[in-house]
Structure 1
Amino acid sequence: MNTNYIKFGVAIISTLTLASCGGGDQKAQQQGPPPATPVTTYTVAAQPVTTVDTYPGVVVALNEVELRAQVGGYVTAIFVKDGQKVTKGQKLYEIDRTKYQAAYNAAKADVAVAKANRDKTKKDADRYTKLAEQDAVAKQRVDYALTDLANAESQVAAAQASLSSAASDLQRSVIVSPLNGTIGISQIRLGAFASPGTTILNTVSTNDPMAVDIAINQAEISRFIALQKDASSAKDSVFTVQLQDGSIYNGQGKIIAIDRAVDPATGTIKVRISYPNPKGVLFAGMTVNLKALNKAANDQLVIPYKAVAEQLGEFNVYVVGDSAKATPRIVKLGKQFDQNVVISDGLKQGDVIVVEGVQNVRPGAVVKAASAEEANGQQPAAAAPAKK
């Protein structure tokens, strides 16, 4: 009796199990394939590309001179204030002139003595020469007189050379500005001793125009040579300077020099770009960012950067193929600019890629065109009610 109840229970459970399985299959068949993933797409196309390359730069003065004492002595006068504008030939410093004035006066007196001696020997030589013509004096005496005259002429020349040297030392005891510009903060004070050739008194530099020095990779040399030859590069604002506060300096720069050699240690070469500086905004030694426009020679493939996904160090995009299926494809990126990026390999013109909704796409998934809001899982904005 108990055995019959057990068999009947097993039969009922089996029937219910089969019924439930059959119902699951029917439900799965009724649901069908998963719905298409909403995305926005972009058709890959070639276009002109202009990117911006940024280089760290240093502002330098085109003309800068260190003022050094050329004669030794104590500083007896300073004629300018620190940071003052100066003009070429303006007196800046004075070294004690006492001994240099004395040396000049002594040399001047020596010249006068040498000339007087020369004049005397010349008269003697002329007199003996005339007497020799009349056979009134021995010829040897004439030779002695001419020799004395030659020696006197040499003494005059030597005295004049000493006078010139003394005059030069006297002149150098007053240091003047070698150019129009701005003088820096004095490195020596009144009464200090200045050694010739070693003591730096100050520095004078021009402040308009100024220049920015940058280091470029040797692979870019040909490009910068072309920009140097292109007279329109300054008008097109190819080079702009960004100051440390983030502001852009208002001035048109042009390449004035490319260094003679590449630094073998870094593989870079120095380029100097000149800028007008009428308002004195640029100061020597400032660090800036120089931004250079880089226009590609040929059109390049460009896509929105948001379409790119990175995984394990590789970049890929989803390409929409036949039957609207999205397939991942590895790409190589070029330069990024604005919100776009250049594709150097992996795509071709005409390919359709997923832009918005990439995070929801799986390999092989069917996608459909939708608004950006729908692709990102947001509700589309409601339409404004019509005005009555």
Structure 2
Amino acid sequence: MARIVAAITLLQVAGCGGGESGMAGLPTPKVEVSQPVQREILETDEYTGRLQAVESVEVRARVSGYLEQILFADGSRVKKGDLLFVVDPRPYVAQLQQAQAGLERARSRLKLARNHLQRAESPLKEQAISEEEYDTRRQSLVQALADVESARAEVDLARLNVEFTQVRAPIDGRISRKLLTAGNLVTADTTVLAGIVSVDPMYVYFDADERALLKYRRLELAGERKDGMPLEMGLLDEQGYPHRGYLDYVDPEVNAEMGTVRARGVIPNPDGLMEQGLFARVRIPGGSRHQGLLIPDRAIAMDQGKKYVMVVTADNRAEYRPVVTGRLYDGLRIVSDGLLPEDWVIVNGLQFVRPGTPVDATRIDMPEAAR
């Protein structure tokens, strides 16, 4: 028993005399330290959204009849005015000819009524005819004039129906597949033949929170967004945000249940890469440019939900620093509070040190891979 007590006593003495490293015989931890990168940064907000066509129409026939021709390839690009479908025009051509014949009859009656009125001019002066008969002839002329206008309107309507047998693209865009094949009966203004969505530009819709909305409004009021709110966008398979556009609309009402507001951006799409319904990543500048400090993520640790880093003091001791961090910027993490440009931050070997312990620090530049 005496031997065990003596051994414990020796261990306690050795522990008390371990020096700065905390335990006798243990080497001082070796770490690598770097100063934060100073860079002009622009704080941004990131959202997810969906693409939507600026224009979207359902192609319908304006007249009823049997579908005679289909003149496009499914999914192709079409221009406004391109001929897409042809409805059998023969019944409408016949109606046009009938209306034109009716117009000629009305013109003939007008000519006759005008001649009758002219012939009554002299007899009326000589009192060879009564004023009542003269008024009857004059009213006949007025009726004939109205009949001509009515017949002309019927001709215009019949000609319009003949034009409507040719169904043309109302907008530029990409057309869907045909929903009917030739030979089917279509009903005027009811049967959907195809759909067309515009291609360039595209809308991107996303939901922003109330805090972001207020921030954007304050930037506009401060005059920092005189040319509109710029917007960047990336597709699911793209790195970064290669597409540039602008914010053109924000709903006038906030969703009270979600605390969000629907916003819309406009993105050019000259090559037609973007399609309606695609997922999109959106980034919007949320502040003005300013100098910021950047460090790698591996230099940041967590302690009870709070982020901190270790800096090396002038006497080569590790010092605990709580920090406030932001988003990644060029592969480095933005530190908005807790660090100074002249601080030496432990970037390698953080797991081997504790606050207040001495370290063997090697100063290095910020790793290029992280910049």
TM range (shorter): 0.7 to 0.9
Alpha carbons of 1:350 and 1:90: their partners in 2 closer, same or farther (altered >3 Å)?
closer
Question: Counterpart of 1:97?
Answer: 89
The alpha carbon displacement at 1:176 in A equals 1.8
The alpha carbon displacement at 1:75 in A equals 1.2
- Cα displacement string for residues 215-252 of structure 1 (whole angstroms, at most 9, x for unaligned residues): 25262545799679279x7xxxx73533x444789x76
Q: Is the 8 A contact 1:91 1:176 kept in 2?
A: yes
Question: Counterpart of 2:194?
Answer: 202
- Structure 2 residue 206 is the aligned partner of structure 1 residue 215: yes
Alpha carbons of 1:370 and 1:93: their partners in 2 closer, same or farther (altered >3 Å)?
same
Alpha carbons of 1:25 and 1:154: their partners in 2 closer, same or farther (altered >3 Å)?
closer
- Cα displacement string for residues 96-154 of structure 1 (whole angstroms, at most 9, x for unaligned residues): 33432333222222222222212111111122123223333222222221112112211
- Structure 2 residue 270 is the aligned partner of structure 1 residue 273: no
Alpha carbons of 1:141 and 1:150: their partners in 2 closer, same or farther (altered >3 Å)?
same
Which ranges in structure 2 are unaligned for 5 or more consecutive residues?
22-26, 365-371
Determine which of 347, 350, 354 is the counterpart of 1:358.
350
Q: Is the 8 A contact 2:43 2:289 kept in 1?
A: no
Q: What is the CA–CA distance in structure 2 between the aligned matches of 1:24 and 1:204, rounded to whole Å?
A: 85
Which ranges in structure 1 are unaligned for 5 or more consecutive residues?
1-12, 373-388
Q: Is the 8 A contact 1:60 1:213 kept in 2?
A: yes
Q: 1:259-338 residue pairs with structure 2 within 5 A?
A: 259=250, 261=252, 264=255, 267-278=260-271, 280-290=272-282, 296-321=288-313, 323-338=315-330
Give the AA of the match of 2:86.
E
Q: 1:21-40 residue pairs with structure 2 within 5 A?
A: 31-34=18-21, 36-40=28-32
Q: What is the CA–CA distance in structure 1 between the aligned matches of 2:157 and 2:266, rounded to whole Å?
A: 42
Alpha carbons of 1:27 and 1:188: their partners in 2 closer, same or farther (altered >3 Å)?
closer
Give the AA of the match of 2:261.
T
Q: What is the CA–CA distance in structure 1 between the aligned matches of 2:358 and 2:117, rounded to whole Å?
A: 121
The alpha carbon displacement at 1:268 in A equals 3.2
Question: Counterpart of 1:183?
Answer: 175
For normalisation by structure 1, the TM-score amounts to: 0.74
Question: Counterpart of 1:254?
Answer: 245
Give the AA of the match of 1:142.
Y
Q: What is the CA–CA distance in structure 2 between the aligned matches of 1:145 and 1:24, rounded to whole Å?
A: 138
Q: What is the CA–CA distance in structure 2 between the aligned matches of 1:153 and 1:168, rounded to whole Å?
A: 23
Alpha carbons of 1:330 and 1:124: their partners in 2 closer, same or farther (altered >3 Å)?
same
- Aligned with 2:270: secondary structure? coil
Q: What is the CA–CA distance in structure 1 between the aligned matches of 2:291 and 2:226, rounded to whole Å?
A: 23
Determine which of 323, 335, 350 is the counterpart of 1:343.
335
- Structure 2 residue 103 is the aligned partner of structure 1 residue 111: yes
The alpha carbon displacement at 1:348 in A equals 4.1
Question: Counterpart of 1:229?
Answer: 227
The alpha carbon displacement at 1:179 in A equals 4.3
Q: Is the 8 A contact 2:20 2:357 kept in 1?
A: no
Q: 1:10-29 residue pairs with structure 2 within 5 A?
A: none
Alpha carbons of 1:77 and 1:226: their partners in 2 closer, same or farther (altered >3 Å)?
farther
Question: Counterpart of 1:164?
Answer: 156
- Cα displacement string for residues 197-222 of structure 1 (whole angstroms, at most 9, x for unaligned residues): 22211123454x34251425262545
Q: What is the CA–CA distance in structure 2 between the aligned matches of 1:180 and 1:29, rounded to whole Å?
A: 84
- Structure 2 residue 232 is the aligned partner of structure 1 residue 239: yes
For normalisation by structure 2, the TM-score amounts to: 0.77
- Aligned with 1:41: secondary structure? strand
Alpha carbons of 1:371 and 1:128: their partners in 2 closer, same or farther (altered >3 Å)?
same
- Aligned with 1:342: secondary structure? strand
Alpha carbons of 1:248 and 1:341: their partners in 2 closer, same or farther (altered >3 Å)?
closer
Question: Counterpart of 2:24?
Answer: none
More helix by share: 1
Deviation larger for 284-293 or 16-25 = 16-25
Give the AA of the match of 1:32.
G
The structure whose Rg is larger is 1
Q: 1:113-152 residue pairs with structure 2 within 5 A?
A: 113-152=105-144
Q: What is the CA–CA distance in structure 2 between the aligned matches of 1:241 and 1:334, rounded to whole Å?
A: 21
- Cα displacement string for residues 309-344 of structure 1 (whole angstroms, at most 9, x for unaligned residues): 113322122244464432323322211234421223
Alpha carbons of 1:175 and 1:19: their partners in 2 closer, same or farther (altered >3 Å)?
closer
Q: What is the CA–CA distance in structure 2 between the aligned matches of 1:84 and 1:45, rounded to whole Å?
A: 51
Q: What is the CA–CA distance in structure 1 between the aligned matches of 2:29 and 2:354, rounded to whole Å?
A: 9
Q: What is the CA–CA distance in structure 2 between the aligned matches of 1:257 and 1:182, rounded to whole Å?
A: 24
Identical amino acids, percent of aligned pairs: 22
- Aligned with 2:127: secondary structure? coil
Alpha carbons of 1:155 and 1:239: their partners in 2 closer, same or farther (altered >3 Å)?
same
Alpha carbons of 1:343 and 1:312: their partners in 2 closer, same or farther (altered >3 Å)?
same
The alpha carbon displacement at 1:186 in A equals 0.3
